Amino acid sequence: MRFYRLSLIALLATSAAISAWVPAVRAEAASEAPTAEKSAEILPAITVSTVATRELTDIVLASGLISAVDEVHVAPLIEGQQIEAVLVDVGDQVTEGQVLARLSPSTLELQKSQLEAQVAAAKAQVAQAEAALIEAQSTADEANRVNDRTKALRAQGTASQAAADQAAAAATSANAGVLVASQQLESAKANQTLAEAQRSNIELQLARAEVKAPVSGEITARNAKIGAIASAAGEPMFTIIRDGALELRADVAERDVMRLQPGQTATLTLSGSSQGLTGTVRLVEPVIDPLSRLGRARIALPVGTAIRAGMFAEASVVIARRNAVAVPVTAVGSTDGETTVMRVQNGVVDRVSITTGIRDAGWVEVLTGLAPGDIVVTKAGAFVRPGDHINPIPADAGTN
């Protein structure tokens, strides 16, 4: 019985202790709650960049094949003559007027000899006609004088009418003889002129028996073969790149064609080569291919470089180069059709509309909306909203 009372007393004491401990625990937990809430409000770390000025280059990319600026086909100027000699080959540099090949002149020289004889005969005919004209003129002059004297004597009554008529007829006949002799002289001179023209034509053909380079440049093709018959109807005897001038005929996206202008500088990279070349936009073709929707620019290349027609090359045409306010391209987004960035001021995010310009590699020019020194969210702009508090972390120097 005594043991039962002691156990009951111990149980009551334990209950009283527990009752006193629970409020204390609750009070302690209540005092620690603000601290836990405070620790739960840690701000997100967001990478940011400082808006600054840097040099940006606006470029247009293009690619295509290298071709001759002007390719000249050399054909024979006379037909039907055998090729007697070929003096140049592919790869040779030639100058304007240089003899490239010779045609056989045998037939032409024979024709020239015949025409020389015709010219000599025509000259003799002219000389005879001139002499005949002089004789006819002299006869006519004498007949006219006799006619005049007879008329005077007839007027005085000392000459008969028959004599006067005879003198007048002789004068008329003599004057007609002068006219005939004059026409024969003109005919002889015309024959001489014709013979001389034919001779000049043969001389011209003989000169053309030497096939000469019409321009200076490099021989890129040769179809002339010794023994073949020269003809302008077939393939050209030679192909020459005028002055060795080459150009890149570069295909350009339709949206970029209007940005190209003659005189702009282009940097070219040849296929399989890391060495760049500098060229100049020579011409922008005025049409767009209706199938590929590509335009074409012709970029002149420096003469004497180790390039060949038919090579493939890529070009970067410089449209503009200037110092401008720029932000990383990753900082730029789009909202409701507007180009925006997330600007950070005093740790608070704000969305700002901007106008962009040049895009160069990983940077975008900002024309309006930002100023140097502003801070923008470099990445993760889609994960923050205007009014959010963030912990801005400056981007590394390597990415800034």
Q: 209-248 pLDDT, tens per residue?
A: 999 999 999 999 999 999 999 888 888 999 999 998 999 9
- At the second CATH level, the architecture of 46-56+323-394 is Beta Barrel (2.40)
- Tell me phi and psi for residue 278, to 5 degrees: -110, 130
Specify the DSSP element, H or E, that contains 325.
strand 312-328
Per residue in 159-178, pLDDT (tens digit) is: 788 887 888 888 888 889 88
User: Measured at the alpha carbon of residue 130, what is the angle toward residues 126 and 133, in degrees to the nearest 5?
Assistant: 135
Model confidence, pTM: 0.63
Contacts of 149 (CB under 8 A, 6+ apart): 167
Q: What is the mean pLDDT of residues 76-82?
A: 89
113-123 b/e (C-beta count within 10 Å ≥ 16 → b): eebeebbeebb
Residue 79 — very low, low, confident or very high, per pLDDT cuts 50/70/90? confident
The predicted pLDDT at position 380 comes to 64
| Ranges 97-101, 187-191, 235-239, 303-307: which has the least confidence | 303-307
Share of the chain above pLDDT 90, in %: 46
State the fold for domain 74-103+211-240.
OB fold (Dihydrolipoamide Acetyltransferase, E2P) (2.40.50)
Quote the CA–CA distance of 388 and 318 in Å, as a whole number.
41
Q: What pLDDT, on a 0 to 100 scale, did the predictor assign at position 289?
A: 92
Return the structure tokens found at 95.
Answer: 């100058």
Residue with tokens 């590509």: 294
Q: Mean pLDDT, to the nearest integer, of 33-61?
A: 76
Beta-carbon contacts of 278 under 8 Å, excluding residues fewer than 6 positions away, are 265, 266, 267, 268, 302
Q: Which two tokens stand for residue 156?
A: 């005085």
Q: Domain 61-66+243-320 in CATH: superfamily?
A: Efflux pump adaptor protein, beta barrel domain (2.40.30.170)
Whole-number Å distance between alpha carbons of 185 and 197 = 18
User: Tell me, what DSSP letter sits at residue 285?
Assistant: -
Q: Quick check: 267 and 314 in contact, CB under 8 A? A: no
Segments making up each domain of the chain, as ranges: 46-56+323-394, 61-66+243-320, 74-103+211-240, 106-208
What's the confidence (pLDDT) of residue 233?
A: 85
Which spans in 258-400 are helix H? none
Task: Report whether 355 contacts 369 (CB < 8 A).
Answer: yes
